[in-house]
Chain A
Amino acid sequence: MNETIKAARDIITSYDGRPLRIMEVCGTHTHEFFRLGVRKLLPEKVDLISGPGCPVCVTAVDFIDEACWLALEKNCIVCTFGDLIKVPGTTMSLAGARSQGAEIRPVYSPLDAVEIAKQTPNRQVVFLAVGFETTTPSACLAAKQARELGLKNFSLLTANKTMPNAYQALVGSADAFIYPGHVNAITGNAVCKKLCEEQGVSGVVAGFTASELITALAVAIKLLDKGEPFFRNCYPRVVKDEGNPEAIALMNEVMEPCDNEWRGLGLIPGSGMKLKAEYAEFDARIKFAMPEIKGKPNPACRCGDVLQGKCKPSDCKVFGKGCTPLHPIGACMVSDEGACSAYYQYAGIV
């Protein structure tokens, strides 16, 4: 164990002040906190809660239904980030659609989907554009590239989300946020600083190694103990105040803000991104004249409360019984970054 980790450990384990609730917003952080067993270090007075930062977990049921409709009714090749495949829709997941003969292809990047469209000119290819500021620029790049190539068989089904308005919706659910380093690397720190200055919302930006993550947590605990609102960038090697202007410019060129449905959190005004009118030919909803598809989440599932830190996964009635990683009912049980999946897999040791 190196000295940095040791020092951070000491700060965390020796905390004995007022009760604290700290929310890690990012799904990758959720996963790493569990993998590292960080909760085992926490004194009783510190509660670490998992926020809505796993893109898979906040993807609405409607979106999965729309994707299945494109795959089964319109016979499109549906390209997607892998962990979306098992997310349940109203009646089936994309894996379910695949077993009915739909062509569902996991890809690592939206540009791979453009390549597939190039190679299969006689089929329509749709990329499922989900995720936050980290993945949205590459979806925009895919739309641009498809236009440059003159592709007529490529489109995006968008459910891209942006973090700033989600932070606003989460104000009050924790004493401090651990902000996702890779999101801030794109957006910069202005939004987080403003939240701190205007509304007294505290937070730290964290990186992803064991040392970066545990240090950020220690900094949050130490500063919360002092009582003043704070913002600290604990990931300065990657996150700059101004963010990544090129990526922001690219997003603004191709997409524009829209209201967006978050699984669990409901409709958050201005929290989504959709293709601009001049890119309408790459918008799958327009291209295939998609009817309005309204999904019905399983009523027993409490992913919504979990995502807002209102309950622990183990408080949900179906957790570990009807709902397991092999047979997920809610989205939080699907991805390794989902709070329910992490609770389930690390059960007994968290």
Chain B
Amino acid sequence: MSNTVTLAHGAGGKQTSELIEKVFKAHFSNPEFTPDDAAVLPAPGGRLAMSTDGFIVSPWEFNGGNIGKLSICGTVNDLACMGAKPLYMTCAFVIEEGFPMDKLEQIAAAMEKTAAEVGVKIVAGDTKVAGKGQCDGVFITTTGIGQIVDGADTSGNYAKPGDAIIVSGDVGRHGCTILIARDDYGIESDVDSDCAPLWGTVETMLGVTKDIHVIRDATRGGVGTVLYEIAGQSNVGIRLNAADIPVDDRAKGVCGMLGLEPLYLACEGRLVIFAPQEHAEALVAELRKGKYTANAAIIGTVTEENAGRVIMETEIGTQTVLPQPKGELLPRIC
């Protein structure tokens, strides 16, 4: 097989079969992985959750992961947020002509490893090759189906006044990592992405209690964006305590230099959880035992007043609005 991906690999002929055989099948192989037009699967009982997500990250590889790991985590976490155990996934690749074959292997290997950790099966896929310059390296779209655990019922509409708000770990690290990896700002830091598959985390929480109102994974726009989404969807206010929000020291350093707020930076392995106050301590105690959630913390509460807004209790004991995140993140001058 050639060292790079060529247009012929996307043309549907012999080279396409070779690519699928040597790269994808080699990593994704399982009894359900289909050579046919569609995967045929046994129907699970109960309620299902289904989600799809597209991934275009530049650079495709970063400290703590790559686009392959990200593409599994993203969809797995979306399903997990609905209390669903991920069962099957499909993945569609758009690969830029000339992309190195060994790098594609690395991406597939990361997908295999992450999927295996969760126990989700990749059952079908698609490969297209785009001409040089028509896409940036590799774009991946994944779709997943999961089975909702009996008794779990979460939605962004369900936040209630009095609920405790929990984050499953320190915030903003993936966003910092990508900023550093792009090397636009000449800053160095060994900050690594929080990118992680979180079905295990959700399963653990549901083991503590099924009485969880909202689980959402904070991706683009960070935890701040999620809080505004929930405040709007559930028509409630949110009160945060600035001192309780976990931020990694390295992320703090990067944000300090660039004048960015960690709450607005992307995460790829962080859940925001709204649950009745009486379960909050037990949930956090259990989360802190997990490998991706050691820094879990209660960061605030849901209020009846200030519906649709996020209010922050500051270091000097005042309350201010957390400004709503907006558009492109641009570092301040000084």
Contact = CB atoms under 8 A, between A and B. Distances in A.
Answer yes or no: are A and B bound together in one complex: yes
B314 A108 contact: no
A132 B186 contact: no
Interface stretch (B32-40, B210-218, B323-331): B323-331
A347 to B, nearest CB: 7
Contact of A112 (B185, B320, B327): B185
Given A1-B315, A35-B314, A112-B185, A346 B320 contact: yes
B332 interface: yes
B334 interface: yes
Interface residue tally on A, bucketed by range: 35 or more
B316 A131 contact: no
Contact of B333 (A34, A112, A130, A346): A130
Given A211-B315, A349-B311, 6 more contacts: A1-B316, A35-B320, A82-B331, A107-B186, A335-B333, A349-B321
Contact of A41 (B186, B318, B321, B334): B318
A28 interface: yes
B332 A36 contact: no
Interface string B285-326: 000000000000000000000000001001111111101101
Interface residues of B, number: 25
Contacts of A350: 320
A106 B331 contact: yes
Given A56-B333, A131-B333, A347-B321, A9 B316 contact: yes
B276 interface: no
B133 to A, nearest CB: 16
Interface string A62-73: 000000000000
A83 interface: yes
A325 B330 CA distance: 13
A346 B323 contact: yes
B321 A346 contact: yes
A211 B330 CA distance: 26
A210 interface: yes
A83 B333 contact: yes
Contact of B184 (A5, A34, A112, A348): A112
29 contacts: A1-B315, A1-B316, A1-B317, A5-B315, A35-B320, A36-B315, A36-B320, A37-B319, A38-B318, A40-B319, A55-B333, A81-B331, A82-B330, A106-B330, A108-B185, A109-B186, A111-B186, A112-B184, A132-B334, A325-B326, A326-B327, A335-B332, A335-B333, A336-B259, A336-B332, A346-B321, A346-B323, A349-B319, A349-B321
Contacts of B258: 108
Among A40, A55, A108, A109, max chain B CB count under 10 A is at: A108
B187 interface: yes
A135 interface: yes
A37 B185 CA distance: 30
B332 A28 contact: yes
A206 interface: no
A86 B332 CA distance: 12
A178 B334 CA distance: 17
Nearest to B329: A82
B320 to A, nearest CB: 4
A27 B315 CA distance: 20
Which 4 residue pairs across A and B have the least CB separation, nearest first?
A: A82-B330, A108-B185, A37-B318, A345-B323
B21 to A, nearest CB: 40
Contacts of A346: 320-321, 323
Interface centre among A1, A37, A130 (most CB of B within 10 A): A37
A346 B318 CA distance: 13
Contacts of A28: 259, 332, 334
A75 interface: no
A261 interface: no
A85 interface: yes
A27 B334 CA distance: 9
A108 B316 contact: no
Interface in A84-136: 84-86, 105-109, 111-112, 115, 130-132, 134-135
B184 A108 contact: yes
A85 B318 contact: no
A46 to B, nearest CB: 15
| Residue among A115, A335, A349 with most chain B CB within 10 A | A349
B191 to A, nearest CB: 15
Q: Give the residue among B184, B311, B333 with the most A Cβ atoms within 10 A.
A: B333
Nearest to A349: B321
A281 interface: no
A83 to B, nearest CB: 5
A37 B333 contact: no
Given A9-B316, A41-B318, A83 B331 contact: yes
Nearest to B317: A1
Contact of B321 (A9, A106, A115, A345): A345
A37 B313 CA distance: 9
A344 to B, nearest CB: 9
B334 A131 contact: yes
A348 B186 contact: no
